[in-house]
Amino acid sequence: MPWLLDGNNLARGGSREKVRRAALAVARSERIRIVVFFDGAPPAGGSGSEALGAVEVRYVAHADSAIVAFLRPQGRGWRVATDDRELARLARAAGAEAVPASAFWRKAEGAAAAMPEGGAAGAAASDEAAFFRDPAHRLPAAPGRVVRRHRRRG
């Protein structure tokens, strides 16, 4: 299930880069789409959004409002990570699953542990972006149903 991240909420006043790297690690490990919303302006010289393969980072005036607007037409099938109770309530009302930030960080720790040589903390963001630019690693633009194949026992 793809994720929507309340970026500043996950950063808790810390580094936005840590959230970006965690999103890249989870997207790579789980092969899912992640959209991160940060309140405020992008880093110096950056644009209002970044496309890093399956991870999209958006810099907006008010992340909570942007997340709710994103969910209104397509809430089902999305998981929202936030500790903001009101945002979680609005996300559930739009049909999304709302989980605490700790659930995302557990996924990120698992993804980092599964990565070779130093995990996500040691991986450069440019290396992660290059992984997703490779057409073999691209994901669909919208969430979809995963068809499971059953193994025959015999």
Rounded CA-CA distance 126/76 in Å is 31
Instruction: Write the single-letter amino acid at 114.
Output: A
Rounded CA-CA distance 113/143 in Å is 26
* pLDDT, tens only, 62-111: 999 999 999 988 778 999 999 999 999 999 999 999 999 999 999 999 88
Evaluate whether residue 143 is within a structural domain: no
Evaluate whether residue 154 is within a structural domain: no
Share of the chain above pLDDT 70, in %: 74
pLDDT recorded at residue 141: 52
Q: Note whether 71 and 94 are within 8 A (CB).
A: yes
Q: Which domain holds residue 83?
A: 3-137
Number of domains in the chain: 1
Q: What is the pTM of this model?
A: 0.73
Rounded CA-CA distance 37/105 in Å is 16
Evaluate whether residue 145 is within a structural domain: no
**Is residue 110 within a helix (H) or strand (E), and if so which, with residue range?**
helix 101-114
Query: Strand 3-6 relative to strand 79-81: parallel, antiparallel, unpaired?
Result: parallel
| Radius of gyration over every alpha carbon of the chain, rounded to an integer in angstroms | 16
CATH code: domain of residue 101: 3.40.50
Evaluate whether residue 142 is within a structural domain: no
